[in-house]
């Protein structure tokens, strides 16, 4: 019998498996589920990959915050990063600026904050969006903050490899600049994904179900990762795992 799990635990497990065998994973601000996934990936293999959480004093390779993140990424010393957007389209473009006409927007987002640069230089960028709807997954973004693909004559070692949502996992084909449905999360269906996705995507004849987190994975997340996570994301750790925030030593 499968152990009960929360949606956040499933998504963290999916992302953790996407990280793979790499040296260094960096996680930006306001990304508690990717942070959980990165720490889980590290704990699964006993200290690899190295994990840098922006805003953490205990879990970071950086001493100068985002500035050093950009420097390390440009030098090829960040292997995995995570990006999201108010809008994401079928070509992997993300929008972190606005919806509607640029001069008279219907909505404003926080801004690009170096996303285009990191999208170009980090080899594995995992896109992540909890809300899976036609409002967020659109045919074409209203503003391209960071492009999913580039012209053939542009040197680009980085780019998207997957998109994880609350309903499913998409893999990204960089050559074709197109998503393919890889698996459906438990409790959801292909028809539901089709109804709630604004862009076209490929899919196999039979779409597998995303594997549920194993008992050992849940144990690691709840007993090892959650207390570490509480330093940067105390409310998330409390709400999802029931872990009180840790007070770091001075």
Give the lowest-confidence range in 69-78, 144-153, 185-194, 241-250.
241-250
Beta strands in 209-248 (DSSP E): none
Instruction: Give the confidence band of 187 by pLDDT, cuts at 50, 70, 90.
Output: very high
Please check whether residue 249 lies inside any domain of the structure: no
Q: Which of 9-13, 43-47, 66-70 ranks highest by mean pLDDT?
A: 9-13
Q: Confirm whether 127 is domain-assigned.
A: yes
CB distance 181 to 168 below 8 Å: yes
Domain count for the chain? 1
Q: Is residue 178 part of a domain?
A: yes
Name the band, by pLDDT with cuts 50, 70 and 90, for residue 245. Answer: low
User: What span, in angstroms and rounded, lies between the C-alpha atoms of 68 and 70?
Assistant: 5
pTM over cut 0.85:
yes
* Contact by Cβ (8 Å): 231, 39: no
Of 245, 108, 132, the residue nearest 188 (C-alpha): 132
pLDDT of residue 243: 84
Collect all residues with Cβ–Cβ distance below 8 Å to 167 and sequence separation of at least 6: 132, 184, 185, 188, 192, 193, 196
Q: Which domain holds residue 42?
A: 7-241
Average pLDDT rounded to a whole number, residues 168-182: 97
For residue 66, is pLDDT > 90?
no
Contacts 24+ apart (CB under 8 A), 95-104: 95/141, 95/142, 95/143, 95/144, 95/145, 96/145, 96/146, 97/143, 97/145, 98/142, 98/143, 99/142, 99/143, 100/142, 102/143
Instruction: Dump pLDDT digits (tens) for 22-46.
Output: 999 999 988 999 999 999 999 998 8
- N- to C-terminal Cα separation, the chain: 45
Between these two residues, 244 and 136, which has the higher pLDDT value?
Answer: 136
Whether 1 maps to a domain, the answer reads: no
What pLDDT, in 10s, does the model give residues 122-133?
999 999 999 999
Tokens of 81: 């990063």
Question: Using N-to-C axis directions, what is the helix angle for 7-19 and 234-241, rounded to 10°?
Answer: 120
Please tell me whether residue 184 adopts helix, strand or coil conformation. strand
Report how many helices (DSSP H) and strands (DSSP E) the chain contains, helices first: 8, 12
Let me know if residue 247 belongs to a domain: no
State the DSSP string of 65-102.
HHHHHHHHHHTT---EEEE--SEEETTS-EE-SEEE-S
CATH at 168: 3.40.1080.10
Q: Say which residue, 62 or 103, is predicted with more confidence.
A: 103
Q: To 10 degrees, what angle do helices 32-44 and 7-19 make?
A: 60
**pLDDT-derived band of residue 250, with 50, 70 and 90 as boundaries?**
very low
Where residue 121 falls among pLDDT bands split at 50, 70, 90?
A: very high
What pLDDT was estimated at residue 246?
54
Contact criterion met (CB below 8 Å) for 209 and 183 = yes
Residue 246 lies in a domain: no
């Amino acid at each position: 019998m499968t152990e009960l799990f929360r949606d956040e635990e499933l998504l963290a497990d999916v992302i953790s498996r996407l990280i793979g065998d790499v040296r260094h994973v960096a996680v930006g601000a306001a990304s508690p589920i990717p942070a959980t996934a990165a720490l889980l990936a590290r704990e699964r293999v006993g200290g690899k990959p190295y994990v840098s959480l922006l805003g953490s004093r205990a879990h970071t390779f950086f001493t100068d915050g985002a500035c050093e993140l950009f420097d390390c990424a440009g030098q090829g010393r960040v292997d995995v990063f995570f990006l999201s957007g108010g809008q994401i389209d079928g070509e992997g473009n993300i929008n972190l600026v606005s919806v509607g006409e640029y001069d008279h927007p219907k909505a404003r987002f926080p801004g690009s904050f170096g996303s285009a640069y990191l999208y170009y230089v980090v080899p594995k960028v995992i896109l992540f969006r909890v809300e899976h709807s036609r409002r967020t997954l659109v045919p074409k973004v209203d503003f391209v903050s960071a492009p999913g693909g580039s012209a053939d004559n542009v040197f680009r070692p980085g780019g998207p490899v997957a998109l994880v949502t609350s309903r499913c996992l998409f893999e990204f084909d960089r050559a074709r600049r197109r998503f393919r449905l890889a698996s459906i999360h438990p409790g959801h269906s292909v028809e539901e994904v089709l109804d709630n996705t604004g862009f076209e995507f490929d899919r196999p004849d039979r779409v597998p179900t995303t594997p549920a987190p194993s008992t050992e994975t849940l144990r690691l997340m709840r007993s090892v990762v959650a207390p570490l996570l509480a330093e940067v994301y105390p409310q998330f750790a409390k709400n999802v795992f029931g872990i009180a925030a840790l007070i770091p030593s001075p």
